[in-house]
Each structure stands twice: as C-alpha cells, then as structure tokens.
Amino acid sequence: MTNIISVFDTTLRDGTQGEGISLSADDKLKIAQKLDMLGVHYIEGGNPGSNSKDIEFFQRVKALKLNAKLTAFGSTRRKFSQADQDSSLLRIVESGVPAATLVGKSWDFHVHTALQTTLEENLAMIYDSFAFLKRNQVEAIFDAEHFFDGYKHNPEYALSVLRKAQDAGADWVVLCDTNGGTLPTEIHDIVTRVRAELTTPLGIHTHNDCELAVANTLAAVQAGARQIQGTINGYGERCGNANLCSIIPNLQIKMDYRCVSDQQLESLTTTARYISEIANVNMPVGQPYVGNAAFAHKGGIHVSAIMKDSKTYEHIQPNLVGNKQRILVSELAGQSNIISKAQELGLDVNANNEKTKQIMERIKELEHQGYQFEGADASLELLLRDAFGEMKELFKLESLKMLVEKNNGSMNAEAIVKVNVAGQTVYTAAEGNGPVNALDNALRKALVQFYPSINNIHLADYKVRVIDEKDATAAKVRVLIESTDFKNTWNTVGVSSNVIEASWEALVDSIRYAMMNMDKVDSSEDQPRVRLGLVNH
C-alpha cells in the first residue's frame, strides 16, 4: 500500500461549527490561501447556495488559482425525489467545483429517527446522488455519517451503505465518527474489516469528544485509510474535529507517511497561528507541536539537560514544524527568525553583534509585556529600524484628550490631539463614530497637510484580545490593526491596560509605517488611486 496520505481540510466548513467561530467571506479566502501554502489536498469551502457568505466565497476563490482541490459540501438527495432535480445537488454542480463531499446516513437508527424513512430509500438516496455527481464529472467523496456507531449496531446495513456509494462510482468512502465516541482499538478493527470488503479508497473523519480524535485518525491510517479529514487547531462542533496540526506531524515525522513536503511542514506553526488570529480564537499555549509552550522548558534539571542535548526533553526538533525551543529562564531562546527578518530588511545584524543583543533584549521584554510580533510584521519592522537609527521621527504626540458622551440616544466621541510635526505644533480636534475613529480622524487632520497620501490608508481589521485574564485587576489588552492602501497590507500591535492607549499605539505604528513608504509613493506615478474611509471605533 502507498504511504501517501491525502489531506482533506474542513476548517472552512466543519470548523465553523465550533462555538465562537464565525468567518466572513474575506476570512475564508485568506485561510484558503494559507491552507494551500501548507499543501493540503482538499479544501472544503462550505455549502454553495446555503447562504450568501458561502456563495460569495465560491465565486471569489476561483481567482486565487489554488493547487488544492476546492470541495463543496452537501447531503444526499431528499427522500423520494430525483437527484437531478435536487436544488442542493444542482447548486454544487453549478458552482463548478472539481470535487464534492456528500454526507449520508449509515446508522439504521438515524435513518429511522432523524431521516424518518426506510433503509431501502436511504440506500437509493446514496446511489442516486453519487451517480448524479459522477455523471457531472465531479470527484465524489462519501462522508458516511455515524459509520462506527452504525457498524456497531448493524454491521451489515452499515457496510451495504458503503457498497451503494462504491457501486455508484464514489471516488472516496470516508468513515465518520460523527459523535466522537469511538475508541482507537474499535476504529482499527472496524476499518480493517471495511478494507477487506471495499475496493474504493477509504478516508477517516473523527471528532474529539473523548480526546481521542488524533489517535483515532492514526489508528484508521494504520488500518488502511488514506484520506484524513480534519481542521486546523481542531476547530469544530462540541469538542472539535480531528486536529490536522497534530495528525500531520505524527504521520509524517513519526510514522513514515507522506502528507505534505518537509518544507511545507515547516510552515505548520505559522499556519496554525495565522488561522487562530483570523478566527480570533486564543490558541492554547500548550497546543501540541504548534503552541507557544510546546517546546518550552522551565528552570532546573530539564534546562540543564536540554543544554547538554535537546533530545533529552524534546520528542522532535521544533524546527521540523516551524516552532522553536523556549527556555523560560535563560536568554538562549532561538530568535533566529528575528535575525532573518532584520537581514531581510538589509539591517546589519548577527548573533554576535552588540546592537543585535540589545534588540533581542528589547523584544523579549516587549513579548513579556504581552506584545506579539507574529501577527504584527510592520510593528516589528519599525522596532528594528528604530533600533538601527534608520527612522526619522516623523511626528511626536504632545497630548491627547478624548470625550465620549451618551445622552438618551447614540454615543458621540470627540478627540483633541496636540502633535509636533516637523518642528511645528499642530492642535486638532475631530469627532468620530467611536473613540478610536475620533482619535484617528484628529491625528490624520494634523498630519494630512504634511503628508497628503495619508488619506489613502484604510483600516482593514481591528482586533482586541485580553492577554492576561488571570489577573483581572491588572488585565492588559492587545490590539492588532491591519491596514491597507489597497496595494499593500500591514499589521501593527499595541498593548496596554487601556484599550484606547493600545489602539493608539497600533494606530501610530500603522501610520508611521505608511509614512515611511510614502516618500517613495508620493514621488512616483504609482499612487494609490482610491480615496478611502477611516477607522471607526
């Protein structure tokens, strides 16, 4: 048997069933691009036609020219109807996707209770639906819902369901542990039996209700499954889906299977962190492989052993998945990515240089305070350029005052800003829909006479996160701002116990970063063409 594993990502479909996860069409497009770079083979985008967000996604994703196969999700046809008149199946074909997943019942109890039809009609629904997809040249994946529960209650019926899909030409039969209640030994035994009964390649789709989704996926692969379905960071309904961020390295580093290239595997950590930022879900610090503490060592015996040989307390080399070792009590944490970032900017850094050591100290100190430069490239670049004396001070805040007021009705916000720009003190006031908007308006008003292009900058995203909820009386927030001039996009960060101050910091960085590039932009013909709105919070 081949050792090549087909990776099917359903972050954009099953992942969005997770509590608190809600993705816009823009979010979905960004995530699809990242997944494609990671090298997954199938990206399940959603249910075309189920809502306007998914329709927009399926239309716009074509322009991205992904390597991965975009996959639509749907169900087998309705009971007692025609597949070629089923609006949901028709919409899948019309969406032009190369592959589609249809879910169907394989547990007799569900056929009776949820579907409320006969066992025979369920078989016909499956056969007709897959025959329809294959007539329309769509790669067809059968998600056999509740297969393991179904098999345990009525193995013959569960197997006959799979055979129907196979007979109709399904390209994959995926066995789903929908309720997440099955144990690895059961998975192994049942997949082994199915292998003996079917010729169609098998896939596995597990849920984490027993904290066994990863183990169950591995057990199925060991028994012969060759497609793994899961989500980044294990997002999904209830306790989540199988976590691809753990499954892929387990299979590839420890079990001699091939999922993605070794180079793609090195992007696993940034992919996981990027998607957690887009989804606005805190990543558990101890998440296996990709978490911030996955290779962190506290003081004492472990650290001294690690320094002799990191194999003493690390099960793999962290760089294989793009993560890094962190020694919580020492200064030796690998910051090679910062050095390479600085080199990318043409700054004279190397690990032995005194200035580089100072910068490392400064970054460590800021990270300790709660800054996170992973999602804030522009702030990191400013920090590095400042340290190397490459930035002129373009403006300086002298004072700031803000008033927010509510009198039966909507809230008003006003900001008063005193800024020194190029030796001149400018005093401005502005209103806004919210305090950050008011601040932004006042600051721009002060700067626009000197830098007219500033009005081309547009806020693309604004996120706030509590970073030390443990200590509520001194809790800090981290604000991440994404800005764009419609050619480039940049991200900045601010941290404070005051959300206004943190927003102000990120805002100032965003504008400084834009101004740094403005000299060039202003003198070329290639000016941004669009006059855009301002930030509004």
Binding residues for a copy of itself restricted to 418-477, rule: CB under 8 A: 433-437, 458-477
284: contact with a copy of itself by CB under 8 A: yes
Q: Which residue has the tokens 């959300």?
A: 499
| Interface positions, 369-388, toward a copy of itself (CB under 8 A) | 372, 374-375
Alpha-carbon distance of 410 to 245, in angstroms, equals 45
State yes or no: residue 263 binds a copy of itself (CB under 8 A): no
Cβ at position 277, least distance to a copy of itself in Å: 10
Beta bridge partners of 490: 483
How much is the CA Rg of the chain, to the nearest whole Å?
27
- Of the candidates 219, 220, 507, 515, which one interacts with a copy of itself according to CB under 8 A? 219
Q: Does 30 bind a copy of itself (CB under 8 A)?
A: no
Binding residue for a copy of itself, selected from 66, 210, 303, 421, defined by CB under 8 A: 210
Give, as ranges, the residues between 146 and 205 that touch a copy of itself (CB under 8 A).
178-181, 183-185
Cα 127 to chain centroid, rounded: 35
Choosing from 272, 426, 518, 535, the residue that interacts with a copy of itself (CB under 8 A) is 535
Cβ distance 493 to 373 under 8 Å?
Answer: yes
Helices (H), 228-353: 244-249, 262-265, 268-279, 301-308, 336-344
Determine if 303 is a binding residue for a copy of itself (CB under 8 A): no
* Inter-axis angle of helices 336-344 and 377-387, nearest 10: 80
Q: What track of x and - describes contact with a copy of itself for positions 47 through 66 (by CB under 8 A)?
A: ----x---------------
Among 14-22, 37-45, 344-352, 422-430, which window interacts with a copy of itself (CB under 8 A)?
14-22
Residue of 230, 171, 232 whose CA lies nearest to 199: 171
Q: Does 336 bind a copy of itself (CB under 8 A)?
A: no
* Window of 35-43, 208-216, 355-363, 506-514 that interacts with a copy of itself by CB under 8 A: 208-216
Q: Which residues pair with 412 in a beta bridge?
A: 405
383 vs 509: CA distance, rounded Å: 10
In the complex, least distance from residue 88 CB atom to a copy of itself, rounded to whole angstroms: 12
Q: Give the total of residues touching a copy of itself (CB under 8 A).
A: 133
For helices 336-344 and 354-369, give the axis angle rounded to 10 degrees: 120
List strand residue ranges (DSSP E) for 184-255, in order. 202-206, 227-230
Nearer to a copy of itself, 68 or 158 (CB): 158
- Choosing from 137, 199, 263, 407, the residue that interacts with a copy of itself (CB under 8 A) is 407
- Minimum CB–partner distance for residue 477 and a copy of itself (Å): 5
229 contributes a contact to a copy of itself by CB under 8 A: no
Q: Does 315 bind a copy of itself (CB under 8 A)?
A: yes
* 413 part of the interface to a copy of itself, by CB under 8 A: yes
Residues found in the chain: 537
Of 204, 317, 343, nearest to 262 by C-alpha is 317
